[in-house]
Amino acid sequence: MRHSEVAKRFAYGHTNGKGSRMFIEGDTIYSHGHHFPIAKRFKGGYLFNTNGYSNSTSKHKSYVLRVLRVLGGKIIHIKNCDLDYSKEQYQDNIKEIERIKDTLTRARVKHMINYHKDKIEFLKKQNEYLMKYAMVTSICEGNEKWN
């Protein structure tokens, strides 16, 4: 099966499917093996791995992300597709927003200004998702990471 087809199967809820180097197992889609989850389903949407690995994994990630965006589900970009990194990701996003704001003050070309503004909005939306889903999940499991 082509990798793009595996990505579509995952997005449409299938729990199995296999391409030459990309596969679905349960609620997770992997690139090259169990060591690299690309995305995981969870009750509020999808966790999408922010880590990089290789050129081929980047392509696998783009297939999955493209389909998930078309379907319009909530996508939380987080390290290793693991909500345990939610507070760390939240703080990283805040730092990145501040860095981009600084860059935005020097931007002069309209399309770059818009690009930076869009990136800030994206990161703010990610932090909203992290607060809404990751923090609630963490509290429900008795985890005090957000305190």
Residue ranges covered by each domain of the chain: 3-79, 83-140
Length of the chain: 147
What's the CA gap between 132 and 42, in Å, rounded? 13
For residue 20, the SS3 value is: coil
Q: pLDDT higher for 95 or 142?
A: 95
pTM listed for this prediction:
0.81
Which residue is associated with the tokens 């099966």? 1
Q: Which residues pair with 77 in a beta bridge?
A: 48
Per-residue pLDDT at 5: 96
In the chain, what percentage of residues exceed pLDDT 90? 71
Half-sphere exposure of 1 (CA within 13 A, CB side): 15
Query: Residue 141: its pLDDT value, please?
Result: 52
- Per-residue pLDDT at 143: 52
User: In this predicted model, what pLDDT tens digit does every residue of 59-69 receive, in sequence order?
Assistant: 999 999 999 99
CA atoms within 13 A on the CB side of 45: 21
Q: How many Å apart are CA 9 and CA 1, to the nearest integer?
A: 10
Q: Which residues contact 74 (CB under 8 A, 6 or more apart)?
A: 44, 45, 46, 129, 133
88-126: pLDDT as tens digits: 999 999 999 999 999 999 999 999 999 999 999 999 999
pLDDT attached to residue 105: 94
Q: For residues 88-111, b (16+ Cβ closer than 10 Å) or e, as one string?
A: ebbebbeeebeebeeeeeeeeeee
User: Quick one: average pLDDT of 113-142?
Assistant: 82
CA distance 127 to 129: 5
φ, ψ for residue 92 (rounded to 5)?
Answer: -60, -40
